[in-house]
Amino acid sequence: MTVLYETTIINTGGRKGQVYSEDKSFDMEVAAPGSKSTATNPEQLFAAGYSACFNSALEVVMRGEKIKSKSTVKGTVSLLKDEADNGFKIAVQLEVEIADLDQAETERLAKIAHTVCPYSKATAGNIDVTIKAI
For domain 42-133, is the CATH number 3.90.1150.10? Answer: no
26 and 9 Cβ atoms separated by less than 8 Å: yes
Cα separation, 90 vs 77, whole angstroms = 7
Q: Cα–Cα–Cα angle for 68, 73, 76, nearest 5°?
A: 175
Residue 134 has pLDDT above 90, yes or no: yes
Confidence (pLDDT) at 33: 87
Amino acid (1-letter code) at residue 44: Q
45 and 17 Cβ atoms separated by less than 8 Å: no
Best CATH choice for the domain 1-40 from the list 3.90.650.10, 3.50.50.60, 2.20.25.10, 3.20.20.70? 2.20.25.10
Q: Mean pLDDT, to the nearest integer, of 124-128?
A: 95
Confidence (pLDDT) at 96: 98
Matching CATH topology for 1-40 and 42-133?
A: no
Cα separation, 33 vs 133, whole angstroms = 27
Q: What is the pLDDT of residues 59-92, one digit of tens each?
A: 999 999 999 999 999 999 999 999 989 999 999 9
Confidence (pLDDT) at 42: 94
Domain ranges of the chain: 1-40, 42-133
Provide the percentage of residues in the chain whose pLDDT is more than 70: 100
* Confidence band for 34, pLDDT divided at 50, 70 and 90: confident
Give me Rg for the CA atoms of the chain.
Answer: 17
Helix (H) / strand (E) containing 109: helix 103-116
